[in-house]
Every structure is written in C-alpha cells, then in structure tokens.
Structure 1
C-alpha cells in the first residue's frame, strides 16, 4: 500500500511540475518577444549625443574563413570617432596576416596594427592569442570580437552607450547574419529562437548567461576583479567567468541592442551539431544542475510532459494537447524570430518550418553526444573539463 501511495505522489508531483514548467516556458516566450520588440535593433535619439570614450578593438584570428575579409572590413566602417583595431595572430605564417594587411591598406586613416606570437599563459588558445594585444592596447575600454563576427555601423556606439557608471561589461545576443544554404537556416533559427529566448530571459532575471562573441569591458575594473586577462586562461569558457568575476564584485552586465552577427563562411548541420555539443559539455561542467532541466525547456519534451499532466488532471486527450502545444510553440518562435529580424525575414516560411523542426529534433542527439564524450575539441586541441569549468589540455596520441 505504501508503494502505491508513493507512486501516486510521484505521478502527482511530475504532472504538477509539467504544468508549472510549461507556464514558465510560455512566460519566457512572451517576455523575450516583448524585449525584442522594445529593445533590439533600436537607435534612440540620445545614442548620437552620448559621451564617447576611446575603444581598443581586439580581434583574435587564426586561419582564413571565406567571409573573413568582409567581417574585418565592417570594423573599419563603424560609426565611432575614436578607436584602434589590434589584430592578434599567433603565427606569423598564418594567411590571416595577408587579409589583415589588405583591409588595413583600404582604410589607412583608421589606427590598426597586427601583433603576433601570442603569449601562452594557460590552456585557453583564445586568451593566449589575445595577450599581446591586451598588453599594448591604449584605451581603458576594450572590445573583444571573434573573427567570425560582422558588426553593424552603430554596434560600437550602442555598446559604449550601455556602459553606464554601474556597468563594467556589455555583451550582445548571439545571432547570425543571413547566409545562403539550408544549414545556415538551421543555425539561424536556433540562435533566433531557443538560444535567444533563454539568453534574453537570463539577462532580465539577472542570471549570468553570456558568450564572448562581442564583449566590451572596462579594463581598470576588469583587472582589479580578475587580476588580468591571463588569469582566465585556465578556463575554456573564459567569457562566462569574465561576467561572473565582475558580478561577484558588484558590477552589472548590460545587453546591447544590436546582436552579435555570426558570419562564418564555413557552416554545415554537422558542424552546428558539434558546436552545440561542445557548448553543452561546457554547461555540464559549469552549471550541472541547470543542464538537468535543459532538455525539458525544448518544445517536444515539454509538450509530452504537458500532455501527460493535463490528461492526468483534466482527462484531456494527450495527442490533441501535444499538437496544440507544438503549434503554439511554433507560432511563438516565429513571432520572436520576426522581432529579432526587425520584421524583415530573409528566409521563406517553408524553410523556417523545416529548419525549425530539424533543429528541435536534433536536441536529444546533441545532449547524448555531449554526455558520451566529455572531452572538448577546439582549434585542433583536445581539453578535459573539471568540475567548475577549469580545463586541462589532453596530450595528442601519435
């Protein structure tokens, strides 16, 4: 009899969890949509009148991507009065050197230089690559932007405008530029629906959730809180720990109105899955309890849980509930996607539907892949993550 009552309590608790979870998830849909409509891609009048400071732009580069020159050139075209660009390249023989020189020659009036031979201070290759530029930059505000990011003319001005007295770091919602091909649509829809929804809601709730694709930082505060960029080289997810160190010391992180437009010329569904698996491994190491709930935030699993819950409490048909849930989720994602696109969709409704469905069904495989092999492959090196996010390089086996 006691086992029967225990099983009944478990079912009741699981069904109650399903109802509460879905209520929270739909609230997140509403909040992210409203935030995107009100704050994203906006240029307030005071933006052009704001007091501006000099900015050092640090660009970590390794190898040549088909869109690299286009991406680099966008930094020479930003609408900002005083800035310098420092290209950080580890190897002097890297072909990225020639691309940088070619772009610099087109814009001789913009202060720019190439620094090579990055300093190895830890296992994180990005931090190692940035150290030489970090040591010679001349402005207190520095902006780290990944090689695959293309910026809009107002992006830097908006970042600096968000850097108020209580803010020490400004980051951007990861998104993608429009590129040809179906695999690009899958990636764009992921960053324009599930990822952006979680990212924006975490920001509104004051939860640390950021990527270092486009990050503006106060150096004086940053050095005081972290001891310098080199001290973050023990982590693969150095961007998360940047924000955490600043937040632990009472500083705020702000979100830019302009997203970080990923514009890599190398993309595929397989590459997207590998990238998502790598990010999942990082989250497992840093916030394991949150990762346990992560699968339930996806459409299909949340829908199954809701259908079971409403069938248990109200005897509603599970199939009907599930189908209505999927339809409602799809419509909410589409509206949010349109808001992030500023109403100008560059993919067809059919492509959106197919890519959305494929992206949703890939989630279980991504999570399984992350759990199956916990090591991380990044820039031709392999790393093992320890609890808390610290990493150690795994020696290559010849």
Structure 2
C-alpha cells in the first residue's frame, strides 16, 4: 500500500511545476513590452547621438550659413525678460547685440518689472554702447501695481514687450543665455524654409506639420571658482548628455511638442491665433501671451498651442545656447531643482514623466538585460554581460557627445565666458553620480505634490494652471 505522504509529495510537486510554469509564462509575456520599450529607448539614444554628431558642429553650421540670403530674411524682435543679476549677464545680453543680422531688420526689447532692478544699469550700458542697434528697455508703468496676469512672473514681465514688438517674429530668450552670433540667421532660415537640422522633413511622425517654432538645444557650462560646485557640474552633465540626447531626438521625430523655454522663436500672429482658437474669443493684437500666465510651464503650453491649433511643429537650427553657471551649487540644490521640474512635468506630461526612468542608463540596462535573458535564454534573471556592455556603450556615447557639445560651444563662445575642457576622469565621476541620482530624484518628485517655485509653493490644478498656496 502506497503511503499517503507519497500522494502529498506528488501533488505538491505538481503544484510547484504548475506554479513555476505560470510564473515563467507571465515573465515571458511581460518581457515582450519591456523589450520593445528597451528598443525604443535605444533608438531614441541613437537618433539623438547621431543628430548631435553630424549636425551640431562648426562644419554643419557653416553649411547652413552658406544657404542664408540676408536679403530674404524677415525682421525679428528679440525679447529678453530680466530680473536681478545672472552669471555672466553682461556677456549673455551683449550676445543679442552681436548677432550677424541685418540691423534694419532687428529690434531688441529688454523687459523688467521693477524700476530699481539691478539689471537696468547693465542694459543701459549696452544700449549706449550699441547705439546703432534698435534696442529699448521697457519697465512696468505702474510701479505700485506691477503687471499681473497670472502666477507666472516671466509672462507677466514679457507681456509689455510682446505687445509692443515692432515685428511679428519673436525670439524669446532668457536673460542668462549666451548665443552664437550666427544663431538668429540660421534660425530664421530654418523657420522660413520649413527645415529641421537642415532637413526638408521637419517632423518624421507628423509630415503634415509646418515649422512654426525654432528651438535651440540648451547647454549649461559651469565656470564656478568655488570648491562646492558639484551641483552646477551635475547640471552641466545632465544638460549635455541625457537632456541634449533626448531633446534632439524627440524634436527630430516630434510625436508631440518637446520644448525648453530658454530660447525659442515663433510668430506672434500664430500664438495669438492659437489663443483665439483655444478660448473661442476674439483677442486684441499682442494679448495672446496673457493666456499663458496661469501656467508655470508656459514654454510647454505655448508649444502645445502652436502644435495643435496652427498645425505647427518645432525645427532646430543646429544651434546650442549656453547658460553659464557660477557660484556655489551643492548636490542637494541640484536634486531640488531636478525634482521641482519633474514634479511640474508630472502634471503636464504625465505618461512621459512616469516612463522617464526607463530612459536612464541604469534602469534601461536592467530592463534590457532581463528581458533579453527571458526571451532568448529562458532565464528569469539579469544577463550581467549584456548589462555591463550596455553601460559601457552608454558611457562612451555620452562621453563622445559631451566632448562634441563642448567643442561647438567653445568655437562660438565669448572669451569672457571660460571655455569648457574635456577631462575623462572628471567626466566619469560626475557622469556616474548623475546616473545613480536619476532614479532617487524621480522617486522624490513623484512622492511630493507641492511645487516650490521662486520661494513660493504652488499646486497644479486639473486644467494644468498653477495656484499659489
């Protein structure tokens, strides 16, 4: 007679086999979308890297310069909002006066709200120095009640210049940004000829779109003399590697708007028309910008308005714009800055923000090496050989890209702003720290709800506007 425990053991073994089989099947099913996600990320990395390699260099910029006919260029108004003193502010603002653009087609408007703003003497010095340039400083007329259209101080400040601009094409440029003297020529050529990095196909996924906004890749350069400047070095690392790569790739493919507000060109008439379609109300000429004062991320909302309402898309002009950073910036400050903007993006582009960790080297490598092992080797574990090769390849790509962006900015930068140098050891140290911090920063930003912006707490409402707390 067979002992009862033999049946029990046999039954337990069968249950274990069924359970193991079910788990393996589930892992196989989950591995398919994970592997697809991994491939999509690698494709974006490849596109961003190759676009930067072949188009963001002095030779490619000169090729584009050769095509520009000064006589055909349309007139432009440069708008620069100011508040306080930024790093290398004189050089940054002066770069607008030094644009190689027909002077009879150029206007520069500096906007400040307070009549005692410390940036005013710098602006007056430049206007006096370049008296042949049509430039003016605009200050809020009522100093007891400064212009207020919503929570966004940049929009409140810019509105007067936006409305008073002599020309329809506007270049909205932050006060802490330095630009190459040929940036405007290449940008207007890009806008007028429906180009994107010189290509006649501006948006790979939306070929019905027309270039109605020109964006430039923002780069940070740390020129701090302080020993405690790891935060600014991390900013520099993030902007020149991860951000630049995906910013260029997404603006080449353009499934949706992907715009950073540091430096953008668009037509006032397009934005005003977009606002009329959004609000279904007739607006006065030059009042369209007011609509975006309720948003913290006005750059993203402006891009969406142009993308959705006037069939526009963004084009790149093979230009980077440089933000010099000095002073003391700690790692903690870097984490707070990144978490704040991730938290804003969580509300504005939720799906993309939730998936963002999968675009970082570490998590992407884990996803790829695990899904490959399950699908190809039938093993429920990480393929460490694949993971190591993945990390090495990602590091090499970032190092090459970082050096190329250094070279293009050094070729175009003012001698006043200290050119960057590429040191492999320093790059490796800050690259590794940034990669390891990426996921913890994302977790911090996802867990919080309040947004600290310029010392004021805000919450994001369902319509994506911001409300002070």
User: Aligned partners of 1:257 and 1:310: how far apart in 2?
Assistant: 36
**Counterpart for residue 31 of structure 2:** 15
CA distance in 1 between partners of 2:455 and 2:110 (Å)? 21
Gaps of 5+ in 1: none
Distance 1:101 1:267 in 2: 29
Q: Does residue 202 of the first structure (1) align with residue 250 of the second (2)? A: yes
CA contact (8 A) 1:182 1:351 kept: no
Would the alpha carbon gap of residues 297 and 387 (structure 1) be closer, same or farther in structure 2, given more than 3 Å must change? farther
Residue equivalent to 1:75? 96
Q: How many residues align?
A: 394
1:31/1:50 Cα in 2 relative to 1: closer, same or farther (>3 Å)? Answer: farther
Distance 2:23 2:462 in 1: 34
- The whole-number CA distance in structure 2 between the counterparts of 1:339 and 1:95 is 36
Q: Measure the CA separation in 2 of the matches of 1:246 and 1:134.
A: 16
For normalisation by structure 1, the TM-score amounts to: 0.92
- Which residue, out of 263, 285, 310, partners 2:324? 263
2:48 equivalent to 1:32: yes
Partner of 1:185: 233
- Stretch deviating more after TM superposition (159-168 or 217-226): 159-168
For 1:147 and 1:105, the matched residues in 2 are separated by: 18
For the Cα contact (< 8 Å) 1:29–1:197, is it kept in 2? yes
1:234 matched to 2:294: yes
Normalized against structure 2, the TM-score is what? Answer: 0.79
Indicate the structure (1 or 2) with the bigger Cα radius of gyration. Answer: 2
Which secondary structure state, in structure 1, belongs to the residue aligned with residue 171 of structure 2? strand
SS of match in other structure, 1:108: coil
Q: Which position in structure 1 is the counterpart of 2:365?
A: 303
Q: Distance in 1 between matches of 2:463 and 2:422?
A: 40
CA contact (8 A) 1:89 1:115 kept: yes
CA deviation digits over 1:212-259, x for unaligned, max 9? 110111111211112400011111111111111111121222122111
Worse overlay, 33-42 or 353-362: 33-42
1:45-64 to 2 correspondence within 5 Å?
Answer: 45-49=66-70, 51-64=72-85
1:225 corresponds to 2:269: no
SS of 1:148's partner is coil
Hey, what's the Cα distance between the residues in 1 that align with 2:212 and 2:298?
16
Shift of 1:91: 1.0
Question: Cα offset for 1:379?
Answer: 2.4
SS across alignment from 2:243:
helix
Are 1:65 and 1:265, in contact at CA under 8 Å, matched by a contact in 2? no
Report the alpha carbon displacement of residue 178 of structure 1 after superposing the two structures with TM.
5.5
Structure 1 residues 51 and 270: CA distance shift in structure 2, 3 A = farther
Runs ≥4 residues deviating over 6 A: none
* Pair 260,36 (structure 1): closer, same or farther in 2 beyond 3 Å: same
CA RMSD of aligned residues (A): 2.2
Give SS of 2:303's match.
Answer: helix
